A and B are shown apart, each in its own frame.
Chain A
Amino acid sequence: MVVFEKPKALTDAQTHYCPGCTHGIIHRLVAECMDELSLEGKAVGVAPVGCSVMAYDYFGCDMIQAPHGRAPAVATGVKRAKPDAFVFTYQGDGDLAAIGTAETVHAATRGENITIIFVNNAIYGMTGGQMAPTSLPNQITQTTPYGRDVNTAGYPIRVCEMLSTLDGVAYAERVAVDCVKNVNKAKKAIKKAFQTQIDKKGLSIIEVVSSCPTNWGLSPNDALQWLRDNMLPYYPLGVYKDKTGEEVK
Chain B
Amino acid sequence: MAERVLMKGNEALAEAAIQAGCRNFFGYPITPQTELAAYMAKRMPKIGGTYLQAESEVAAINMVLGAASTGVRVMTSSSSPGISLKTEGISYMAGSDLPALIINVQRGGPGLGGIQPSQADYWQATRAPGHGDLHVLVFAPSSVQEMVDLVSHAYDTADKYRMPAMILADGMLGQMMEPVVIGQEEEKELPEKEWAANGHEFKRDHNIINSLYLQAQDLERLVKERFERYEVIKQNEAMCENYMVDDAEYVIVSYGATSRICKAAVREAREQGIKAGLIRPITLWPFPTEDIIKSIPNAKKYLCVEMSMGQMIDDVKLALNGARECDFFGHTGGIIPTPEEVLSEIKKMAGGEK
Given the complex, which residues of B lie within 8 Å of A74, measured CB to CB? 62-63, 65-66, 69
B42 within 8 A of A: no
A46 touches B66 (CB 8 A): yes
CB distance from B267 to the nearest CB of A (A): 46
A44 touches B55 (CB 8 A): no
Residue in contact with B66 in the complex, picked from A42, A43, A64, CB distance below 8 Å: A64
A42 touches B201 (CB 8 A): yes
**Complex interface: stretch among B1-9, B176-184, B205-213, B290-298:** B205-213
B287 within 8 A of A: no
**Complex interface: stretch among A80-88, A132-140, A170-178, A207-215:** A80-88
CB distance from A129 to the nearest CB of B (A): 19
B59 touches A103 (CB 8 A): yes
Chain A residue nearest to B98 (CB atoms) is A64
B70 within 8 A of A: yes
Given A44-B70, A62-B206, A65-B211, decide whether A77 and B197 contact each other with a Cβ distance below 8 A: no
Residue in contact with B208 in the complex, picked from A63, A66, A70, A105, CB distance below 8 Å: A63
Given the complex, which residues of A lie within 8 Å of B92, measured CB to CB? 66-67
* A-B interface pairs (CB < 8 A), number: 138
- Measured in the bound complex, the distance between the Cα atoms of B195 and A62 in whole Å is 10
CB distance from B242 to the nearest CB of A (A): 40
**For this complex, into which size category does the number of interface residues on chain A fall?**
35 or more
- Measured in the bound complex, the distance between the Cα atoms of B199 and A41 in whole Å is 5
A61 within 8 A of B: yes
Given the complex, which residues of A lie within 8 Å of B199, measured CB to CB? 41-44, 61-62, 82, 84-86
B210 touches A56 (CB 8 A): yes
- Between A and B, 16 residue pairs with Cβ closer than 8 Å are A44-B69, A44-B70, A44-B199, A46-B66, A61-B200, A65-B212, A66-B62, A67-B65, A67-B88, A70-B89, A74-B66, A81-B24, A102-B55, A102-B58, A103-B59, A105-B55
- A sample of 11 more A-B contacts (CB under 8 A), given A62-B207, A64-B96, A82-B199, is A62-B208, A66-B92, A67-B92, A70-B58, A73-B54, A73-B66, A76-B66, A77-B69, A77-B74, A79-B66, A106-B55
